[in-house]
């Protein structure tokens, strides 16, 4: 009975975590909606540009610790050591962000907005490490509650800022203040790290973490660049307005990715244990997970393909009524993206980091080539087509690798 109660409690916490992630995703979606409706397509293009430029730097600062710490088996380091490592990377992120901002051809006003956005991401990355600790410890309930509180505070402050001040700077400042307040009064209090301890990480420890995590980090950075290369080309060859439209369409991919990440976070600890103790349970659990995701994908595809343009037009602008072909391409892209994110988690559980770098490197080259071939003549349609082709080929490579390495582990066991 105790085991059953523990299982039920774990399941409730996992569901609550998915709810929290959905609330965060809806909050971010609301941000895009309000910027588009109240400020305009140009401003949402600038906001999307901020995300594209800072995305790779944020991933470098985070260094995939949320995946690495719960799954790695080589380093017997405490959370304190990983925390010191994160601090170094986060400070480097601030410095790199300032340099990039000064180098970009933005207006002074837009650069000020980007500076505030960088500080917001700095605190978000600090919060992400607290999440990492609690994921490794299996404290899913805290993870869920933190996301719920954060989504509520951020939504209230963002809506008020945009409606009252009608400016991009006010919108970005509301993101920073809400993130800072949630971290200060709630999330930051659930860390096991002692912030009063003297900063102490040896060069050897830093090097070991860097060597272990650089592969997985490069995978995430290249993945980010894959999504951003078409955005840079659209902004360069077309306009910020076109970029705003593309960014709005692709936010569906971001929303989907956030949901799958939440599901991964909820199941990763159990899958790691199954892999160590019972390989059959590991495989059965994966099959069940993929079946559930397939049902959800089918339902989502039916809604998107049937009512996608009307939904986007209602939420954003009537300009989306013309994007029927793009909506079909987007639906196909989201389908393959879901499976790819889960396979990425499985490869990390199998500790196959290097192969992921190789696959992501090849995929990155492919998206660059396809983007230049398709985006310049076909714009948004070409960008979606390039992303779809690349995602399909990347998924096939992941599937082959997972089957091979999973079979290898089974035979070893």
DSSP letters, 123-141, are HHHHHHHHHHHHHHTT-HH
pLDDT score, position 200: 77
* φ and ψ of 352, to 5 deg: -100, 85
Six-digit token pair at 27? 């909050």
Which residues, including other chains, have CB under 8 Å from residue 15's CB and lie 6 or more apart?
A: none
Token pair 């991919």: residue? 253
- Per residue in 203-232, pLDDT tens? 999 999 999 888 878 878 887 888 888 988
| Per-residue pLDDT reduced to its tens digit, 91-148 | 999 999 999 999 998 999 999 999 999 999 999 999 999 988 888 787 888 888 999 9
Q: What predicted TM-score, i.e. pTM, was given to this entire model?
A: 0.77
Residues across the chain: 413
φ, ψ for residue 224 (rounded to 5)? -65, -45
The residue assigned the tokens 């180098």 is 103
The DSSP call for residue 57 is H
pLDDT tens for each residue of 349-385: 887 777 887 888 898 899 999 999 999 999 999 999 9
State the pLDDT at residue 3.
43
Q: What percentage of residues in the chain have a pLDDT greater than 70?
A: 95
Q: Which of 130, 146, 187, 191 is nearest to 16 (CA)?
A: 146
Q: Are 274 and 281 in contact (CB under 8 A)?
A: yes
- Give CA 255 to chain center in angstroms: 9
Q: Which tops the pLDDT comparison, 411 or 371?
A: 371
Q: How confident is the model at residue 151 (pLDDT cuts 50, 70, 90)?
A: very high
Residue carrying the six token digits 């980007």: 114
- Average pLDDT over the chain reads 87
> Which tokens is 359 given?
């696959």
């Amino acid at each position: 009975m105790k085991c059953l109660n523990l299982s039920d409690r774990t399941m409730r916490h996992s569901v609550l975590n998915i709810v929290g992630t959905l609330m965060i995703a809806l909050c971010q979606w609301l941000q895009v909606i309000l910027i588009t409706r109240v400020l305009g397509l140009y401003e949402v293009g600038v906001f999307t540009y901020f995300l594209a430029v800072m995305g790779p730097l944020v991933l470098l600062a985070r260094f995939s610790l949320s995946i690495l710490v719960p799954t790695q088996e080589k380093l017997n380091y405490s959370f304190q050591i990983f925390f010191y490592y994160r601090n170094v990377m986060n400070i480097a992120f601030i410095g790199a962000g300032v340099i990039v901002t000064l180098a970009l051809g933005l207006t002074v006003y837009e650069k000020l907005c980007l500076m505030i956005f960088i500080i917001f991401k700095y605190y978000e990355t600090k919060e992400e490490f607290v999440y990492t600790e609690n994921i490794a410890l299996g404290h899913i309930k805290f993870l869920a509650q933190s996301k719920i509180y954060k989504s509520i505070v951020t939504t209230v402050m963002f809506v008020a800022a945009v409606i009252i001040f009608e400016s991009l700077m006010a919108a970005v400042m509301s993101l920073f203040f809400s993130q800072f307040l949630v971290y200060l009064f709630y999330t930051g209090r659930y860390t096991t790290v002692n912030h009063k301890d003297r900063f102490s990480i040896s060069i050897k420890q830093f090097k070991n973490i860097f060597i272990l995590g650089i592969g997985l980090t490069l995978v995430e950075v290249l993945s980010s660049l894959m999504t951003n290369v078409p955005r840079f080309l659209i902004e360069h060859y077309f306009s910020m307005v076109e970029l705003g439209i593309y960014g709005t369409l692709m936010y569906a991919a971001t929303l989907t990715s956030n949901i799958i990440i939440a599901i991964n976070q909820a199941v990763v600890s159990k899958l790691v244990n199954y892999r160590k103790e019972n390989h059959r349970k590991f495989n059965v659990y994966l099959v069940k997970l993929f079946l559930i995701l397939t049902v959800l994908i089918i339902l989502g595809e039916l809604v998107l393909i049937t009512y996608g343009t009307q939904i986007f037009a209602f939420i954003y602008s009537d300009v989306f009524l013309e994007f029927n072909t793009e909506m079909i391409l987007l639906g196909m892209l989201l389908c393959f993206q879901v499976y790819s994110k889960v396979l990425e988690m499985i490869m990390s559980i199998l500790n196959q980091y290097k192969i992921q770098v190789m696959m992501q490197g090849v995929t990155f080259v492919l998206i660059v080539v396809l983007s230049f071939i398709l985006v310049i003549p076909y714009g948004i349609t070409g960008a979606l087509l390039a992303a779809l082709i690349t995602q399909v080929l990347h998924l096939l490579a992941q599937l082959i690798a997972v089957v091979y390495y999973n079979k290898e582990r089974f035979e070893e066991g």
